[in-house]
Structures are given as C-alpha cells and as structure tokens.
Amino acid sequence: MKKDIRSLSEEQLIAVFSEIGEPKYRAKQVHQWVWQKAVHSFQEMTNLPKATRQKLEEQFEIRAITIEHQQISEDGTIKFGFRVFDDELIEGVLIPKGDRMTACISSQVGCSLTCKFCATASLDRKRNLDFFEIYDQVVLVDKAAKEHYQKPLTNIVYMGMGEPLLNYANVKRSIEMITSPDGLGMSPKRITLSTVGIAKMIKKLADDDLKINLAISLHAPTNQKRGQMMPINESNDIDAVVDALDYWYEKTKSRVTHQYVMLKNYNESEEDAKQLAEIVKRIPSKVNLIEYNPIDNGLFERTSGNRAMNFLRMLESKNVIANIRRSRGKDIDAACGQLANKNG
C-alpha cells in the first residue's frame, strides 16, 4: 500500500523531492496543497509540473475521507457518516448555535471503553484514526457550516467516536495541524478534548502544553457508581483522575469541565450533589449537567427536567459553577452518546 503523503513532515517532503531530483521549494507547495487547501488529488496541485505530479502519484496517495451520508435535525444539527479509506464508517456532527459553529469529531473507528450509557460503546474498536483523517473531518464539517449557515467553524470538540487519549499521538498531531498557520490556523482555545479520564495521559497532555480545553466524563460521584457505568474506572478511579487534574491545572492554569450525564434514580440525589461538589471543588472547574439520550437496550432513564434543575440548584448552593446542557440532534441520533452509525 502506498503511504499517504500527509503522513510526511515538511522536512521529510524536502528529502523526497531531493530523491526524485526536484527543487525543495516544491515540498512547501505540496504541504500547502494538502493542508491549507486540503486537496485530495495530486492533479489538483496545478502549480506543479505534470511530470512531478505523476512522480508523486506513483509513490504516494491521499486517503481522503468522504461524506457517505448526512442527516439534518429539526434543530439544525447535521450528522455526517464519513467513509474512510479502508471502508470503515465513522461519524461527526455540526452543532450550530447562534454565531457558534461547533464540529464534534471522532478519534477512533468504534470504541473500546464499553460505557453503559453510550451507544458508541456497542461498537468494537477497529483502529485508531490517523491524524490526517481527524483533520479531514474538520475540513468537511467547516465546509458544510459555510454551505448551510454561511459561517465558518468556531469550535472543535473531540467528543465523537472513540477515546482521544487512547489515540494520543494522532490526536496531538491533528491539533497541531489544526492550530498551525500552515494548517487551519484555529486558536487552541477553541478546541476541547473530552476524555473518560486516562490519568497518565492527562498528565502527558499537561506536559505537552497544547493550550486546549479539557472535559472529563465523570458522570458519578463515587467509585462504586462510576465503576458500574464506566469499566475504565477500575484502572482510572476518581482519585487517580482528580490527581491527574490537579497536575493538569498546576501546569496549564486551565479550568476543567466535568461532564455529568443525569440518570434517573441513579446519580441525582442530594447526597450525589454533595459528593460531586466535594470532587469538583478540589480544582478550579465547572460542571455541565447533560441530558441522558436513550440508546437501544440502555440500562438507564433520563432524569426529569425538574429533578435536573433541583440538582443544579443543589450544586450552586455549594458554590459549584454548573449549567444544564440541552442535547441537540436527538431526532437523528446525533446527540451525546448516540453516535453508533445509524442512518435514518
């Protein structure tokens, strides 16, 4: 199989052009074509001689992802099914809200974490996505935002399929290209990485100082409850995660967002609020209370609006910054925890 030319750094491209007897400035041209202009064919690189394009085509390929299908929700959310080079399917979402255009993108084909409240957990993890496949999702969702809403992307969340910190190298490199002036030039403060809490990788993320935002899928205030719904808690329990978040804040001075899905008769009591407050107040943070989105064969039910509001007030009475996040795209299975390659 040919190598995707985007897997090469600009320095590696220079070496390639030297080997094939071409001037090194051609490497800069190719780099601009594949990243800034996001072309998916060597024939589109019109400032390269035809013979040069032919040489590149003989050695390399561009494994572009394509939009297999898309669905538009009644609230304007758009869900995309992306087909990748080996014929696997992943999903991404465009979430429009006022002037804010957010891309929710995937980092893996499937997921290995088997969280009990998430439809993606029913899928096997097939493989990690390459960093250029993650990048391609952003390019395609940005294009859709401009076509449908005449606005560019303003934000990116790594909250689609997969656990970003279990594909760390590719996720990191995708962020570097998305924020690079040689790529999309987006501010890292517009990017949020959501993780179930892989403690050692949170510390590595802090050390690498990408200056992005961090969201933690906490979802329960005790190890017993969290372990029942999230098997990862066995190896990364609440204490380990909070210790890593302490390290994150000490290094980055960036406030953490705790994600907390509201489950009826499970994690919404006054005692739950008290325990949750004790956890989140250990570091500067806020809490997003998330509506549970029912999934096929799910074990849980959604908390009522009144109970969610009462829980919010209990947190606020303990000086916790919290808000309720309304799910978008529920009617097309595009909301949090619903991405499972269902089309219609």
| Residues belonging to the active site | 91, 336
User: What does the alpha-carbon distance between residue 107 and residue 192 come to, in Å, rounded to a whole number?
Assistant: 13
Separation between Cα atoms, residue 280 and residue 237, nearest integer Å: 14
Could you give the 3-state DSSP secondary structure of residue 194? strand
- CA angle centred on 247, ends 245 and 252, rounded to 5°: 90
The helix-helix angle for 199-208 and 238-252 (nearest 10°) equals 0
**Eight-state DSSP code of residue 304:** P
Measured between alpha carbons, how far is 310 from 328 in angstroms, rounded to an integer?
Answer: 22
Task: Name the token pair of 327.
Answer: 């799910």
In sequence order, which ranges of 180-284 are alpha helices (DSSP H)?
Answer: 199-208, 223-229, 238-252, 270-280
Q: What is the dihedral of CA 226, 230, 231, 234, to 10 degrees?
A: -30
Beta bridge partners of 259: 217, 288
